[in-house]
Every structure is written in C-alpha cells, then in structure tokens.
Chains A and B, each alone.
Chain A
Amino acid sequence: MLRDITLGQYFPGNTIVHRLDPRTKLALTVCYMVALFAARTWSGYAFMLAVLISAVAASRINGKTLLKSLKPILFIIIFTVVLNVFFTAGDDVLAHFWIFKITKQGLVGAAQMMLRLTMLIAGTFLLTYTTSPLALTDGIESILKPLAKIHFPAHVLAMMMSIALRFIPTLIEETDKIMSAQKARGADFESGGLVKRAKALLPILVPLFVSAFRRADELAEAMESRCYRGGEGRTRMKTLVMRPRDWVALAAGAAVISAVYALFRRLP
C-alpha cells in the first residue's frame, strides 16, 4: 500500500544516535559526506563503510530496512553506473564495440561511484530515520538563526518545513482512503492507456485538493486562535542543548575527516 513507503520516515528509538542533538547529527552528516567524497582509495571506501555500519549498528536501525529504502533510488544509481562505464576516458581498453569502449578505468570508476552513491544515500537516510521531523526542523532553524541578521526568514522556512513534513503522512493516508472509496464505486486505476489512466486520477485529485485546502484553512485558524504570530519572541518547550556527548560525536566526525584526508587521498 501507499503508506508502506519508508522514504524520509522516522523510526522512534532511544539509542545514543537518537538522543544526539539534531544540530550535531546534521553536522555529522555533512562531515560524513565530505569524507565520503574525499576518500579516493579502496581502503578509504572500506573505512567509510565501517563508519556507516557502526553508526547504523549504534542506532539499532534494521539494516534490511535501510537497504530496502534504497530501492526508489536504484534507477539513478544504475543510470550513473552505466554512464560511468561507457564514458570514462582511459587507455586500458577491455572491450570495444561500435562507438563504445569499456576501459578498466571506467569499470573502477563506476564501481566507486556506485559505492559512493549508495553510502551517501544510506547515510542521509540514517539521519531522517533517527531524527523526528520536528527535531530536524528545529535544528535547521537554530543553525540558520544567525542569518536572520540579513533578513533571512529562518523561522518561516522551518515552520513551512515542519508543516509540510507533518502533513505528508496525513495526505498519503487521505489519498489511500479516497482511492479505496472510488475503487468501491468501481473506479479502475490499473488498466487502460496513458490518457485513460490520467483521467482516472481525477476522482482522486479533486477530493484530495479540496481536503488539502480545507486542512490548510483549519490549521491556519487553529494557529491563529492560539495566538501564533511568527517567530518573534516565541519561546520553546524543548530548547536544544548541546551535551557532552554531542561534542564527543562532533570530535569523532572531525577525526573521520582528518583520517580520510591524511590516509586515503592518494589516487589509485
């Protein structure tokens, strides 16, 4: 069913990874990405894989769930790999047909690109799996706050993000419900050509839009009746606090980057 998709979903838990400050996790994710792209040798990839696996293990996220979530991006990964295999310049030609030639450099480059992409996506998924959307937007707002001096609307942006994230599951559920209701009246979404299928979406889209606007209206009224008037002077029930464990984690992130730069930068 529609709601079984796990993209960008949060799996509640109480591990050290879950408890880290969202800002720390955002910073660590950036560190991880930088290190991943800095690593240039096979041992470097092995090192980054070990980092990823230990983070996944510490978060107690099921490895299978993580792998399954890569499925929607599989196409992009395959596409990149194919491009790399065929269009990397090199002189160690292994096979040659028509205008294509497959070189050793191409194969190696493709394999490394695949590793890099999967690890990149798995790492960012780990962030959303272990951080609630609310905590994540709080973290982003807090990081962007200094930009308010140049009139950057950090609060508005964060509020928009949290509302959007909050309503994605609701809208998915609603879509599910409307689809079921129309199926009960004999609507058919699975057969027919492109035009017929596009037309078949109308009975879903119209009620969905109507209800999305209704929800937006209701939400706006609910916020107003609780005196919401933007971010100015607004205090929080849960303020973000950096604890010792956050500093330790950040130091570990810095250590990973330094290690990669010191040890794994040589080109193969």
Chain B
Amino acid sequence: MPAVQAENISYVYSAGTPFERPALRGVSFACEKGEYVGIIGHTGSGKSTFVQQLNGLLTPSEGRVLVGGVDIRSSKAALREARFRVGLVFQFPEYQLFEETVYRDISFGPRNMGLPADEIDERVREAAVFAGLSEAELGKSPFELSGGQKRRAAIAGVIAMRPEVLILDEPTAGLDPAGRDSLLANIDGYRDRQGAAVIIVTHSMEEAARRADRLVVFMDGLVALEGTPSEVFRHAAALREMGLALPAAAQIAGKLKARGVPLPDGLYTSAALRDALVGLLGGSYAS
C-alpha cells in the first residue's frame, strides 16, 4: 500500500470569483514508504498547490487523497491523523517560528499531537540533533538564530512529529552551497533512520538528479513526465519546451557527444560524468 496516494486531483483557486484559476487538472500520484521523489516543474506549474493537497491543507475540487489507504476526508480524525503522518515543510519555513524559545517552537507539533511530556522531550532533542542545534541554542529565542539555523529549526519542528512522509517545498532556496548540502544530508539521514518517504519540490536539476529515486515533472497543473532521473532526462527536448534545463552534467555530456566523444547515455550527475571521462581518458592514455 502506498504511504500517500492522490487520485485524479483537480484544484481551482478562488473558485466562483472573477479571479478563478485552475491550478491542478487531474493529477494522480503515489509514493511508497522509503521512496525519495523529486517534484520539478516551471514556476506556476502547480507544485506547491499539489503538495498542499497531500496533507489536506487544500481540499481538491475533484479526486481524493489516501494516506495509509484511508481517505483523508472520510472523517475529521482521519484528516488530523494525515496532518501528522504527512509532514509538510513550506517554502521559507523560518517565517513560521513564533515561540519564545527554539525548544518550545520545535515542540509545537508534538504538543498538538497530545504526546506525553517525556516523549515530547525526546523528540525535540532528536530533532535538534538533526538540525545541528546545540543545547544552548535550544534555549535561545528563534529570532536570535542565523537564517540557515532558523530554517533548520523550522524543519526540525516538522521532523519532531516523525512523519512517515516528509514533504519539503524548495527547502534549499536561499541557502549557501554548504548549508544546502548539509541540509540535504540531514534529510537523507532522517529517511534512513525512520524509513520515511521524502518528497522534495526543487528548482535545482542537480539536486533532483543526485538524490531522487523518481522524478515527477509538473506542467500547467498536469504531470507531464514521470520516471527515474535517467528516464526523465532522456526527454531533453520536451523538458526544454517546458522551460526546464537538464542538469549541467547532462548538458556537458550532450555537447561532448555532439563533438564525437564516445560517452554512454544516462550521464546526468557530475560524479557519473567524471567517472565516465576518467575511464575514457585512462583508456586513451594507456593506448
């Protein structure tokens, strides 16, 4: 059974007003436990709208969402349960911090879950380790942290609920390369430890190529392409038409091939390209 599943979802913003705007037009999607899914697509293609359907923040005008096989609209309790099982981190989550201390802010979710005090404490400390926040920082006001630390504290607030599906909407936007890498590594760590599914909305083809098991490409409120990174990046022309570029490594590989360098297909991460080139050069050096 998929951890979370969307069946033929449609959604219209401001329905019934002159500003009516269809944002999703029949999207079906399923995600298994432990899977790492990347969602890419041009700006305005409906990615953020779609992920907000998965934990029931938006109500689809058509279609339904199942979490652990249960329709999240079947009862109020099911909806609440889905909110905790599917953890959603919004873009720029640091703007949602509100408590007096970082500790209290991270514990907001677990407290809403009605957990016993000792379990809340355990989860907060675990999530703080995830976020790389020290004991001293837990006692600080969230507004005293640096931008990157604020972001991590906010993500820790969702992680502390131990969701089975962790969804992050452009988690690395506005972070420096080091901050980006360590955040993504932390998310990997969470997935390994909890066996949770991770769904990441991203504009970075490199990130999508390197980490995801599966890519879903959105276009005008529809899923235009879906598959493993190598399957998706094979459709270079279609992607370009949607306003998306291939990862830099795939672009370089394509240009080299056009000049007659005998590279194999399916090179879209810099590591794979490097290995292939070293292999080729090694061979020609030897001869």
Contacts and interface: CB of A to CB of B under 8 A. Distances in A.
Instruction: State whether these chains interact.
Output: yes
B95 A178 contact: yes
A180 B98 CA distance: 14
Contacts of A166: none
Interface residues of B, number: 26
A184 B55 contact: yes
A203 B57 CA distance: 17
A177 B90 contact: yes
A241 interface: no
B235 interface: no
Interface string B160-189: 010000000000000000000000000000
Interface stretch (B65-73, B79-87, B117-125): B79-87
A11 B18 contact: yes
B98 A206 contact: yes
Interface in A184-201: 184-188
Contact of A185 (B14, B17, B95, B108): B108
Nearest to A178: B96
B52 A180 contact: yes
Nearest to B108: A185
A181 B161 contact: no
Contacts of B157: 185
Contact of A180 (B90, B97, B158): B90
Contacts of A174: 95
Interface string A143-186: 00000000000000000000000000000001001101111111
Given A177-B90, A184-B88, A186-B112, A6 B17 contact: yes
Interface of B: 14, 17-18, 52, 55, 57, 80, 83-84, 87-90, 93, 95-98, 108-109, 112-113, 143, 157-158, 161
Q: Which 9 A-B pairs have the closest CB atoms?
A: A186-B112, A206-B98, A181-B96, A185-B109, A184-B88, A181-B90, A203-B98, A180-B57, A207-B98
